[in-house]
Structure 1
Amino acid sequence: MLAVIGVVSLILVIVALATSAILGNVLQENLDAKLQTTTYQQVWQSLARPQFPASVDSTAHSVLDEGRQSPGVMLIVQSPVGVLDGAVVENDGTVAALTDDQVQQAIDGAGGAILATASVDDHGSYRLLPFRAGDYIGIVGLPLTEVNTTIAQILSTVLAVTAGGLIVLALVIALVIRVGLRPLRAVADTATRVASVPMSQGAVSIAERVPDEQADDRTEIGRVGAALNTLLDHVDASLDERQLNEERMRRFVADASHELRTPLASIRGYSELSLRDPTLSETSESALERIQAQSIRMTSLVEDLLLLARLDEGQELVYGSVDLTRLAIEAVDDARPAGLDHNWVIDVGDQPIVIAGDTARLHQVAVNLLANARTHTPPGTTVTVTLEREGTHAALRVHDDGPGVDPDVAPELFERFSRADRSRARKTGGTGLGLSIARAIVEAHHGTLSVQSAPGDTTFTVTLPARPADPSAPVADEPTVDPADAEAAD
């Protein structure tokens, strides 16, 4: 719009200036012709009459006072006896004498040229014509007021018409663009709505499409809309397939974990039974102990996988009243014996912070975070556990001053089977499921688990919805099952 209006404005301005210049030249030529014919002839005829008195003191005034000149005519005459004077016809027909300065301005403006333009004080611009009539010499002039007024009126009219035309042009262009880009706006609106749909996880269905009337492939914009619809169809199908594969994988992990529990329990039981045989050799006893230890490790891994699968399906949680303050204290007390070479600090408020959740699972979160801090930090590290209320949420933080998390590992820290051996010099191995289980449990409680890490400053933060701080607020003592979890379990 700016480009079109700018170009049109430039063209109209050029046309207006050219028209004004041409018309000004035409009007000035007409004025010159009138000056050279009618006005000059009348002045010459008056001065050339034999009976015209040559000794009057004001020759110009006498000529103009005869009443044959139109208003605005200016005359400057030098008589044969050397008298120089000037006069001008006023708009009411009276004749007014010119001052010596005004006469001199006219003479200087004429400058001996055939036709010249000069400005005279109090009378404006004049076209001047020098002449000789017998023994008289002088200058006769006509005002340019009418010419200038006509040009000014033309310019004002052109500017007013131009401004009105530009306004109409802008409205028409805006209407045309709005109508022409309506399909593109529909495409943009559809893309915006699709962009706001969370697609990272869970069942996702993209129902948004560009309307058929805006996806006409006979136009360029319509082809864009049709291409977007095709793309959304492919993405929707891919998301459905991804969700189906995820559900199959969850069922497989859950079924496999469930089925592995029985043979693992049998292996462990038979190994324990065999170890009771007093006739075993030292080699056989060592082998059976290794079998028993690995079966225990395998059982723990299977239990973790089964827990993750059930959490993904919305099962496993049993809701009740959870005192996070007491839970944090107990978790630190349990971690101290296992980490005697670490310094343990607990910082909780006097008032208990109560939430609705699964006590056992939330205790598992705290234990996993403390075990993670103990395992991946060197001896002498200080681990600090803090608990505080932040608005309507409770924040449990586990901080350590160890070496920190490797930036290359940080983006995948909460993924399943993620290992951070390089960054935190862990002494013992693990399954890599501890943090992923902690995050799954926290998210199942509608909370968040995050980490901020730098060398000497690593903090894991668990944020959970808290109960009201008012002690008189009702708190359920009996465990209850979340209706959504019960429905998923069914």
Structure 2
Amino acid sequence: MVDPDAEPDAGDGTTGAGAATAVDADDRTGTDASAAASARHPWTLQRKLIVTVVAITSFIMVLVGVATSAILGGVLEDGLNSRVTSAAERTAVLVRGYIAQGWTAQEILEEQPQQPGFLLAIQTPPNAPTAAVVESDTTVTELTDDQIGDLADGLRSETPSVVTIDGLGSFRVEGQPSGASVVVVGISRDEVASSIGRMLTTIGLLTAGGLILLALATAWTIRAGLAPLRAVAATAERVSALPLDQGEVSIPERVPAHQADPRTEVGRVGEALNTLLDHVGTSLTARQRNEERMRTFVADASHELRTPLASIRGYSELSLRALSKDHAAATIETTESSLERIQAQSLRMTRLVEDLLLLARLDEGQELVYGAVDLTRLALEAVGDARPAGPDHTWVLELADEPVQVAGDAGRLNQVVANLLANARTHTPEGTTVTVGVARDRGTAVLRVHDDGPGIDPALRDELFERFSRADRSRARQTGGTGLGLSIARAIVDAHGGSITVESEPGSTTFEVRLPARPRDPGPAASEAVDGAAADGA
């Protein structure tokens, strides 16, 4: 037995749900397939523009054709109405005598020939109506009773009406009284329909031809207008294939000049890409140059540190060997000498590391303690320190009548002047005159260090302020320091918001430092330092 209150079989419900799920999955699969097909075949901009232009133009031309046909049809129908009214009035008078003699419509048309498509119907009570029409070959054909019935059914008013007669077509008809009779005159509408048909055919052909020409012209115009975009895409593709991740890099690819005309919208895209490529090329060149500088910097720093380290190692080994011997006096003497050399090389490494640390901190905007600095006094003291170190040089001071003050770090600015004087002393022969001048030039403090030495090698002038830049590539200790002096001077001057330049030719070399003569606003700490220095001066 089956319990009528039992719940439906869960299996049936599951089967129905599974079928619905399967149908939904099929629908989703079909939708996904359609979306994937659309994604695989996207419309190009050129195709979208052509289809849009042609579709809008087609719609407009169809509307124009329909409106023109309606207007022309109305004009032709009005003309036909006038013809029917005039013919009806004239015929009603003309056939009055024939009707009195009992003539039929066919006999009258045979007696009085009319143009093809002319219809005549006569109703003389109590006689049956007669009607006839002139065929296209000018023969006269009598209308049947059914055709006369169609004609009678179409006559509903005294104004011209349109009547469709089976087997004959559509006529514009009008009735006029002629004595005791009624005369109905009709003219075929075939001529009007033929004129409208010819006009629609002409409009259709012209529209189709015009749309084809429009599509071709639009395609050519759009293709020519989008040529710069294709050139941009091609250039970008070629650039993307270049190896830009390592080594010396150059980007020779550019959008052709005639396709990057900034006077056009699309041309501006090409010009923007060329500008971007110029910027990227410049950046890559700078990156390559920085990498080369870094490699050179690491090599130079390693070279500078290797010599003192080797000395320290050598002297320490010498000391150990001396300690292993039995001669106490010789051991003490050798150990003392070795320790002195180790100390000297340690100091040399310390100075190098401190210079590198100073450059790093200056690059980060640190290491400056601002205060009021008398640049005139600073130059005077620096020359006083340089005279004992270079007694074979002639030192000359050219100072302004009034002190020239700047806002800056006195210790670091003193280091700038000392480095410039040491550079002049080291790289010029004995008897060279070194002139140090301090002046004010329109709100700018100017410090010049001039010498009449042999000048700077032009090949070295461009990298003179680079780190580890030295005229003597052998790095002999007697010809100069580590090559960091001028780079430190430039870093300090840049940190003060100034500039340092050099002009050199045989017999005349001038280093010029320009600093703001009026204190800048370097920050709260600097402002307090300047105020404190002013208070101390007071």
Q: TM-score if structure 1 supplies the norm length? A: 0.47
Please tell me whether Structure 1 or Structure 2 has the larger radius of gyration of its CA atoms. 2
Normalization by structure 2: what TM-score? Answer: 0.44
Larger helix share, 1 or 2: 2
